[in-house]
């Protein structure tokens, strides 16, 4: 029966049987992994359609099978489409972790996420959204009248699960379109509302308020959404949500915290010919400056007599905290890395800040002495020649201001040619304003939404 069968067909049969050793043996003999049967299925697609073949799918991926192999036809697609349609969350996570593209559409113009939503597989929906989202989490949505919102916001707000994901299948590596999916609960697979964020107006939250809100206005559907952070006063979460709605990715959960660098050894413990690190050189220069200041009789503001070691390590704990804060800012981590505290002073080779802290007593210790001001009038005359020179210079300055006011505020090169509609601000040349409108930008003067750019002609 198997005399006329090729090695690829035999490998396909071994996938159906779940025989991993037979698959590996045929692959070593030269059998390809992308053989297609009469229905357009590859061995990996076949493995992703059955929950009992998860180990086979993993073995095929390790052997080099294409995770984005496409099966044409209705109700088809990539292996991720088949696994999502059947609710195989483990297979979905396996494919996503090995580079499967969740934004690919099948012949029915449906993504794997949309198939999982339609079939009611909430576990698959959560898995795909957590993989591709810019923001995911609980928020509070205001759904009542504004009068009650001002006095009792807890009565008119409800908890919702918000997810911001890309939806640009034509440009999956650099998407330009994003959507906001709102779920009433985590057990629900179909979102209550989907907001196309490239078609709405997003108002920046007023972070000077104690509990800022993000407002999204959909002028086409005449709807207005107002969101607050899950916990009252959590400005960081609402900032992340605002950035995600604008298409800015958050890398705080992706970039790992680098391990803390070991402090350099003191000079007497280093090798004789070993190069001195830059931070040690900076520390040595600071120590030398402090010693020179002490020899010359310059007193520090917070201590009368300071030894070089004390001057180096008196504020070492604050420098460690500042280094930790700098590391947190560079990596974008949400959790502050722990800094070990010790009562012992570190060696003098550790890098210290360039100036000691100033205590409050040194600044606000005594009364404030204001300098005396001579308020007697001063009389002077300007010669006629100088006055004419001043007038001419003022005229030139006015001409320069008028010239600069008619220059594009964006490129600072071309004259002002167009106006933004509906705000009407004359801000730049036509090329710059058209580029801003194509990128869904705002007016560079008032930050209003640009609906149209009109060329202006001087008479």
**Cα maximum dimension of the chain:** 118
Q: Does residue 152 share a domain with residue 36?
A: no
* CATH code of the domain in which 444 resides: 3.30.40.10
Residue 311: partners with Cβ closer than 8 Å, 6 or more residues away: 287, 290, 294, 300, 356
Contact between 434 and 453 under an 8 Å Cβ cutoff? The reply is yes
Q: Does residue 193 share a domain with residue 169?
A: yes
What is the domain extent for residue 410?
398-455
- pLDDT of 429 > 90? The answer is no
**Distance separating alpha carbons of residues 245 and 181, to the nearest angstrom:** 11
Q: Which helix (H) or strand (E) holds 288?
A: helix 278-295
84 or 429, which is more confident? 84
- pLDDT of 319 > 50? The answer is no
Q: Does residue 78 share a domain with residue 154?
A: no
Q: Does residue 137 share a domain with residue 110?
A: no
Neighbours of 200 (CB within 10 A): 19
Q: Which of 238, 255, 272 is the last residue of a domain?
A: 255
Q: Does residue 20 share a domain with residue 119?
A: yes
Q: Does residue 149 share a domain with residue 127?
A: no
Q: What is the dihedral of CA 3, 9, 10, 13, to 10 degrees?
A: -130
- Examine residue 35 and state whether it is found in any structural domain, yes or no: yes
Q: Kindly report, residue by residue over 349-397, the tens digit of the pLDDT.
A: 444 444 455 454 444 444 554 455 555 555 545 444 444 444 444 444 4
| Token output for 313 | 């390590």
Task: Please tell me the least confidently modeled range out of 48-57, 188-197, 289-298.
Answer: 289-298
Q: Does residue 170 share a domain with residue 68?
A: no
Between CA 171 and CA 182, with CA 177 as vertex, the angle to 5 degrees is 130
Q: Does residue 106 share a domain with residue 179?
A: no
Q: Does residue 166 share a domain with residue 89?
A: no
What is residue 285's predicted lDDT score, i.e. its pLDDT?
67
Number of domains in the chain: 3
| Token output for 82 | 């088949």
What is residue 66's predicted lDDT score, i.e. its pLDDT?
94
What is residue 290's predicted lDDT score, i.e. its pLDDT?
66
Q: Does residue 150 share a domain with residue 90?
A: no
Contact between 447 and 411 under an 8 Å Cβ cutoff? The reply is no
* Beta-ladder partners of 419: 454
| E strands present in 119-263 | 135-142, 157-166, 178-183, 193-196, 201-203, 213-218, 223-229
């Amino acid at each position: 029966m198997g005399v006329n069968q090729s090695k690829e067909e035999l490998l396909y049969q071994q996938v159906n049987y779940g025989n991993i050793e037979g698959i590996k043996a045929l692959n070593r003999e030269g059998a390809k992994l992308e053989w297609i049967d009469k229905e357009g299925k590859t061995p990996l697609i076949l493995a992703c359609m059955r929950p009992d073949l998860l180990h086979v799918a993993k073995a095929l991926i390790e052997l080099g099978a294409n995770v984005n192999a496409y099966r044409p036809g209705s109700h088809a697609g990539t292996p991720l489409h088949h696994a999502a349609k059947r609710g195989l969350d483990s297979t979905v996570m396996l494919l996503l972790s090995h580079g499967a593209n969740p934004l690919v559409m099948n012949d029915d113009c449906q993504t794997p996420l949309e198939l999982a939503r339609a079939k009611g597989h909430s576990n698959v929906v959560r898995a795909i959204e957590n993989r591709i989202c810019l923001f995911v989490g609980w928020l509070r949505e205001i759904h009542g009248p504004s009068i009650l919102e001002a006095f009792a916001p807890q009565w008119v707000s409800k908890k919702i699960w918000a997810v911001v994901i890309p939806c640009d299948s034509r440009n999956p590596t650099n998407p330009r379109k994003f959507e906001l999916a709102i779920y009433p609960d985590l057990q629900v697979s179909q979102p209550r509302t989907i907001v196309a964020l490239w078609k709405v107006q997003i108002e920046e939250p007023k972070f000077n308020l104690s509990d800022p809100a993000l407002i999204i206005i959909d002028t086409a559907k005449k709807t207005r959404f107002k969101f607050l952070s899950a916990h009252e006063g959590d400005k960081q979460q609402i900032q992340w949500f605002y950035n995600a709605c604008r298409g800015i990715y958050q890398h705080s959960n992706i970039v790992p915290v680098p391990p803390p660098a070991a402090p350099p050894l003191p000079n007497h413990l280093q090798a004789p010919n070993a190069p001195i690190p830059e931070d040690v050189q900076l520390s040595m220069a600071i120590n030398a400056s402090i010693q020179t200041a002490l020899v010359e009789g310059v007193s520090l503001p917070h201590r009368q007599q300071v030894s070089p070691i004390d001057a180096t390590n008196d504020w070492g704990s604050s420098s460690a905290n500042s280094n930790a804060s700098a590391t947190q800012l560079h990596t974008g981590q949400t959790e502050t890395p722990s800094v070990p505290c010790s009562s012992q002073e570190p060696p003098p080779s550790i890098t210290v800040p360039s100036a000691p802290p100033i205590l409050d007593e040194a600044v606000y210790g005594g009364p404030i002495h204001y300098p005396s001001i001579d308020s007697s009038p001063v009389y002077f005359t300007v010669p006629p020649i100088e006055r004419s020179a001043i007038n001419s210079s003022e005229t030139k300055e006015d001409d320069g201001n008028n010239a600069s006011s008619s220059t594009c505020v964006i490129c600072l090169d071309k004259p002002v040619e167009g106006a933004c509609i509906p705000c009407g601000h004359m801000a730049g040349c036509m090329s710059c304003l058209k580029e801003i409108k194509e990128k869904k930008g705002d007016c560079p003067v008032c930050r209003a939404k640009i609906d149209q750019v009109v060329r202006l002609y001087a008479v």
